[in-house]
């Protein structure tokens, strides 16, 4: 039977209970190893609906490996990864493709195709998943996403090399929002931006998160972004994840967490938040 001719797989959403914040993303017992190198050993993580969840950790703790596992780009050695109740470690083919259409993602350097214009980059997910959309409707929808992230209309016809770093970040965000996802993954979204540009991007992300009711999972090393945007934070230490609200995670006794949240760069935020 020709798999490409089969009916598309329908992936239902979990029903949203009134006043209930359910996990949109659940990771249980995740194990990732590369030869004798242990990256994750029984890592657990929950991300709740409509929150901004920050992921931090030292170099080599496996933040990118975790993201690749969640995105279905790398199959873990053990564990389950549920996106809206669907275990992606057990899915393949059309079923996995259907789940991937439900989230958006931006990567650290933007990952835009250099040979395509911004408009064409934003249209790529539409071409893959919205096959019935006419070219005119696709142009209109892509322009809507470009304006939504604060880019000028003339940016649509430009190539990535013609954009500033901040504009590349916004173009990548427009592409991530192309299919109207409810779950958004951001990999080091403010990396390479100056403090003003980073603050502007954080403000845009928070605005879109509230207006579009997005659940955001953000990998970052930017303390300013963490304190500006995150509801809860997961810290990867000792191959596992320690998770709490931002207000409480700063008091976790683990030495790395103490060093990270009580260093010189974090002191100003702690003074403000604790009323010092």
Q: What domains lie within the chain, and their CATH numbers?
A: 24-273 (3.40.50.300)
The token duo for 260 is 């990270």
Give the span between the Cα atoms of 117 and 70, in whole angstroms.
Answer: 29
Q: Which of 187, 194, 192 shows the shortest CA–CA distance to 205? A: 187
229-276 pLDDT tens trace: 999 999 999 999 999 999 999 999 999 999 999 876 655 565 555 554
Calculate the CA 17 to chain-centre distance: 24
pLDDT, residue 110, reads: 67
Give the span between the Cα atoms of 95 and 9, in whole angstroms.
Answer: 6
> What is the CB neighbour count within 10 angstroms for residue 276?
8
What average pLDDT does the chain have? 88
Phi, then psi, of 201 in degrees rounded to 5: -65, -40
**Entry pTM:** 0.87
The token duo for 35 is 């030869």
pLDDT, residue 9, reads: 42
Please provide the DSSP assignment of 82-139 as one string.
Answer: EETTEEGGG--HHHHHHHHTTEEEE-TT----TTS-HHHHHHHHHHHH-TTS-HHHHH
The two counts, helices (H) then strands (E), for the chain are 10, 10
pLDDT, residue 265, reads: 62
73-106 pLDDT tens trace: 899 999 999 999 899 999 888 888 888 889 999 9
pLDDT, residue 249, reads: 94
pLDDT reading at 13 higher than 80: no
116-173 pLDDT tens trace: 999 999 999 999 999 899 999 999 999 999 999 999 999 999 999 999 999 999 999 9
Give the span between the Cα atoms of 260 and 84, in whole angstroms.
Answer: 32
């Amino acid at each position: 039977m020709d798999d490409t001719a089969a009916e598309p797989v329908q992936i239902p959403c979990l029903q949203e209970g009134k006043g209930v914040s359910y996990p949109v993303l659940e990771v249980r017992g995740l194990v990732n190893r590369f030869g004798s190198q242990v990256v994750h050993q029984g890592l657990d993580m929950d991300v709740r609906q409509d929150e901004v969840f920050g992921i931090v950790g030292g170099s080599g703790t496996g933040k990118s490996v975790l993201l690749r596992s969640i995105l279905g780009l790398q199959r873990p050695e053990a564990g389950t990864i549920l996106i809206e109740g669907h275990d992606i470690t057990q899915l393949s083919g059309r079923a996995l493709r259907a789940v991937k259409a439900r989230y958006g993602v931006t990567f650290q350097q933007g990952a835009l195709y250099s040979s395509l214009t911004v408009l064409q980059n934003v249209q790529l997910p539409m071409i893959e998943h919205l096959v019935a959309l006419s070219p005119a409707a696709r142009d209109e929808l892509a322009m809507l996403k470009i304006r939504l992230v604060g880019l000028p209309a003339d940016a649509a016809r430009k190539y990535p090399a013609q954009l500033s770093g901040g504009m590349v970040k916004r173009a990548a965000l427009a592409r991530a929002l192309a299919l109207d996802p409810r779950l958004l993954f951001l990999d080091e979204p403010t990396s390479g931006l100056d403090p003003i540009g980073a603050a502007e991007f954080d403000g845009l992300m928070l605005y879109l998160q509230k207006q579009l009711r997005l659940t955001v999972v953000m990998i970052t090393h930017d303390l300013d972004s963490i304190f500006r945007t995150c509801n809860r934070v997961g810290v990867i230490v000792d191959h596992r994840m320690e998770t709490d609200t931002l207000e409480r995670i700063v008091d976790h006794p683990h030495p790395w967490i103490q060093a990270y949240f009580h260093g010189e760069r974090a002191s100003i935020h702690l003074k403000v938040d604790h009323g010092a």
